[in-house]
Amino acid sequence: MKSILLSLSLWTLAFLSLAAQPVVTGLTADYLHNPLGIDNPSPRLSWIIESEQPNSVQAAYEIRAAENVADLQKGRNLVWESGEVASGQSVLVAYGGKALTSFQRVHWQVRIRDNHGKRSKWSEPAFWETAFLAGTPWEAHWIGVTWEEDPAESMPSPYLRKEFALTGTVASARWYVSCHGLYQAELNGRRVGDQEFTPGWTSYHNRLQYQTYDVTREVKTGENALGVVLGDGWFRGNLAWVDGRNNYGKELALLSALRIVYDDGRVEWVHSDASWKASRGPILRSDIYNGELFDARLDMPGWSAPGFDDASWSAVREMNLPKDQLIAPESPPVRIVDVLEPLSITQTPDGWLVDMGQNMVGYVQLKASGASGQQIVLRHAEVLDKEGKMYYDNLRAAEATNTYILNGEGEETFAPHFTFQGFRYVMVSGYPGDLTADKLKGLVIHSDMDPAGTFTCSDPLINQLQHNILWGLKGNFLDVPTDCPQRDERLGWTGDAQVFAPTACFNMQAAGFYAKWLKDMAADQEESGRIGHVIPDILGEGGATGWADAGVVIPWVVYLETGDTGILRDQYESMTKWIGYMEKEAGTDYLWTEGTHFGDWLAFASTRSDYMGAYTAKELLATAYFSYSSGLVARVAGILGNTADEARYRELSRKVKAAFQKEFVTPAGRLVSHTQTAYTLALAFGLLDGETAEKAAGYLAGDVEQFGHITTGFLGTPLISLTLTDIGRNDLAYLLLNRTEYPSWLYPVTMGATTIWERWDGQKPDFSFQDEGMNSFNHYAYGAIGKWLYQVVAGIGIDEAAPGYKHILIHPRPGGGLTSARATHRSMYGEIVSGWTLDGDRMVMDVRIPVNSTASVQVPGETADIRINGLALSDSDILGVQAEGGEALLELGSGSYRIETRLARE
C-alpha cells in the first residue's frame, strides 16, 4: 500500500509540474500569422506564453528556424539557432539568422524558460515566406489592352488570360500579382485567394502593393490557364468630388508572375507579357461610388480555364511602367468577414425594401431566376425617412447602385466585383417573382484584423454604443481608415483617424494596418513637411491642426499599444518634418494663427438666441496641438536615443506652451474661447500649470454642469471624458455618457443607430435630417469615447513607462448607476481582463494578467476588507501592496484574480 501511495504521490507531483509548464502559442512575424510573401529581410517575431503558474514571466527564450519542418523539429540544417537568450522579450524579436533570399520559406519555433525555472516545449511551428526582396527584379512586363477607352467614363472591365503547360510534377507554385486599378485572379477556372479590393490603396506613385498566392494545389501537370479581370478602383475610378476620375492614371494594367518549382528542383516562370490576350466581358461598368453594371448575357463560362476558345480575343500590349515602387503588404487584407441575413423584406411601390438590420459595409449577393435581359436594380441607403422610404440625399453624387441583367439560364447568383456600399437598407427593383430571405444576403467586408477587445456593462444602451463603435470601425477600416463608406468621399481623413486610433487599438489589433497607412503618409508628405488632409493624398491640400498631427499621434498610439519602437523609427523623419512645418507657420512668436484648419469640426450648435456658443478659436487649437505634438516628438527622440533632438523639441514645446498661456489664458485661468473643447485640450495637453489649471478645471466642470450635455466636436470629444475623470469629476463624465437626449452618444442609440453618426443629430427626433451635404450615419470619430469605456469604466490602462502592456494599469472607476462592467483586451502578451460588479457596498473585481506582464491594480476599500481568491492580502500570493486614502494599490503578476472589497459608506 505504501508503494502504491508513493507512486500516486509521485504521479500527482509530476502531473502538477507538467500542468504548470509554460506553453508557447500565438506566433506571429511582423504582426501577421504565417505571412506569405513578405519583403522584410529581418522580420520581427512575437509569441504568447500561457501558464497556470501564477506570477510567471519569461526569463529566457530560444528560437530556431529551418527551411522545412522536418529539419526544424530535428534541429538540423538550421538557418538560425539563437541559443538561449536571457531576456524577457517575447514581442518583436528581430530575426538574426542567415541572410534571407527571395522566395524562401522559413519555419520557426520558440521555447522559453520562466522565472520558476520551468522550460516550455518547443512551440508548434510557424512560418514566413519571402517574396521579392530588395535587389530581385521583376521579369514580368506590365500589360494592358489595345482598344480605345474614354477616360471620362467608367469602361467595361478588361479580362486577360494566358494558357501555359507544365512539364513535370510541381513541388510548389506561387503567383505574384499587382495592377493599376483593382483585380480578381483566377486559375484553371477558379477564383484564387479570398482577398478583396487587391492590390489595395496606397500612394500608388510611391508604393504599390502586390499579393502572393500559394497555388500549388491549383496548378497541374499539362495544360493550365491564368485569368485576371481588372476594375477602375481607386486608381482611375471616381474619387473625391467633381471631375474626380483618373487620380493616378487613365489606363489599367496588370503585372503577373507565376513561379513554379518542380520536384526535381527546376524553376519555371510564367510572366505577363505580349503573349497574353484580352477581351471585354460582362462587367460593363464598375465604380466604387456608383456601383456595378453586370450583363450576364455577356458572361464567358470557362474564360480562365484551359481550352477556352479565345480566338476572338485581342492582343495585349506591353507597357513601360515602373516596378521599383512594388512592395509586399504589411497590413491584413480586406476579406469577407461576416454574412448577414435580412431582418425583413417588404414589398413597396418602388420594389422590395430589404432591411439588413445593421448598417454594414460590403455588398449584397443576390439569387434570381428570370427571363434573359431582365434587369434587377439594387439601390442602397443607410436610413429611412419619416415616411419609411429610402433616404438617398446624404449619398450626395454617389449612385451606390448595382444592376444585374439576367441571362435567363436558371437560377443565377450575382455579387459585384469592384465596388462596395455602406448601407442598412436595399431597394431591389425588377426582381422576378417574390423576393425571399433565402435569395439575398449581405457580405460584410473590411481589413481582416484580429479582434483585440470586448466591452460590456449593465446598461444595454451603452452596450449598443460599444456595438456601434465596433461596427463603425469595421465599416471604415477598408485598407485605409476612411471617414465614411457610403457617399462620394470614402477618403483617409487624417483627423478622424487621429482621434479614433486609441479606441481602434483597444478593439482591433491594428498595428500592421496603421504601419502601412503611415508609410503612405510619409510618402505623400510634402517637402515642406505639410501632411495632407487625406492619405493617400488625392486632394493636394493639408496642414490642418489636429488632422496632420495624425503623423505624430498615431505612431505614438501604436507604440503605447505594442511597445514597437520600430514604428517610431520608421516615422521619425515624417514626424520631425511636420514639427518643422508648424515652426515655420508659427514664426518667432510660437503662435500658429494662420493656415487652413477645420477646427473643432461639427461641434454642437444651437438655435437658442442666448446660446453662448461652442466655437473654439482655430488659432488656440493650432497652438495647443503645436505644443502637444512637439512634446510627443521630444519623447520619441528620447526613446530612440536622440538626446539632442529630445532637448530641442522639449524646449520648443515649452516655448509654445508659454506663448499659449500668454495669448489665450487670462490671469484668472479663463481661456479666450470659453468652451468645453478649449479647456479640455488645454488640460489634456498639459498647457496649464498649478492654480491656473485648477481654475480651468473648474470652468470645464462648470460648463458641463450648466449645459448638462456635451458641446464638443471632433477634436474635443475624444478627450473630454478622460479629462473630466482626470480632474476628479468622473460624475460629470458619467453624466455625459448616460444622457439620451441630443446631443449625446446615446441619442443615436435611442434612434435605432447601429453605427456611430457623423453628427450628434444626423436624424432628428421627428425623423427629419441634418444637412445632407455632411451627414454620414457611419462615421467613427465620435466613437472615440470607446477609450474611456475601456480605460475608466472597465479599468484597463497603459503604463507609458512600460508600453505594450508589459506593465498594466488596472483602475476601474464605477459610476453612473452601472452595477457591472467588464472588458477584455488581447495584448501582445495575451488576454487582459478587468471586470467588476457592485452589490450594495460590496465590489467584486475579476482581473486576469497574461504571462510575462505585471499589473498595478487600484482597489477601493481598506486593506483589511480586501480578499483575493478568498484569501486575506497577507496570505495571498501577490507581489506587493500599498495603502493610502481608503484605497489599495496591488502589484500583481500573471494569473486570474477574484478581488472582493467593501466600499466606503457615504
Q: Please identify every residue annotated as catalytic.
A: 489, 758
Are 250 and 289 spatial neighbours (Cβ–Cβ below 8 Å)? no
Indicate the residue type of 178: S
Q: Contacts by 839-844 with C-beta closer than 8 Å and gap 24+?
A: 841/902, 841/903, 841/905, 842/900, 842/901, 842/902, 842/903, 843/814, 843/900, 843/901, 843/902, 843/903, 844/898, 844/899, 844/900
Task: State the DSSP code for 97.
Answer: S
Cα distance between residue 175 and residue 185, in whole Å: 10
E-strand stretches of 369-491: 375-381, 401-405, 412-414, 421-429, 440-447, 453-457, 477-478, 480-481
Cis preceding linkage at 743, omega within 30? yes
Residue with cell 522559413: 106
Pick the closest to residue 367 from 428, 288, 419, 421 (CA basis). 428
Task: State the DSSP code for 482.
Answer: -
H or E segment at 353?
strand 351-368
Count each helix (H run) and each strand (E run) in the chain, helices first.
16, 46
Pick the closest to residue 550 from 517, 528, 527, 596 (CA basis). 517
Indicate the residue type of 444: V
Instruction: Give 872's Cβ-side CA count (13 Å radius).
Output: 6
3-class secondary structure, 862: coil
Cis preceding linkage at 667, omega within 30? no
Residue with cell 467586408: 445
Are 236 and 245 spatial neighbours (Cβ–Cβ below 8 Å)? yes
Contacts of 71 (CB under 8 A, 6+ apart): 77, 78
Pick the closest to residue 889 from 856, 863, 845 (CA basis). 856
Query: Buried (b) or exposed (e) across 173-195, using 16+ Cβ within 10 A?
Result: bbbbbbbbbbbbbbbbbeebbeb
3-class secondary structure, 725: helix
Cα distance between residue 360 and residue 725, in whole Å: 33
Cα distance between residue 223 and residue 243, in whole Å: 45
Continuous H helices in 210-268: 233-236
Cα distance between residue 678 and residue 764, in whole Å: 27
User: What's the first-to-final CA gap in the chain, in angstroms?
Assistant: 62
> 27 pairs with which residues across the strands?
none
Q: Give ∠ CA 466-469-471 in degrees, rounded to 5.
A: 110
Strand 480-481, strand 195-196: pairing = unpaired
3-class secondary structure, 864: helix
Indicate the residue type of 298: L
Cα distance between residue 529 and residue 575, in whole Å: 9
Cα distance between residue 145 and residue 132, in whole Å: 26
| Maximum separation of any 2 CA atoms in the chain, in Å | 94
Cα distance between residue 775 and residue 486, in whole Å: 10
Cis preceding linkage at 199, omega within 30? yes
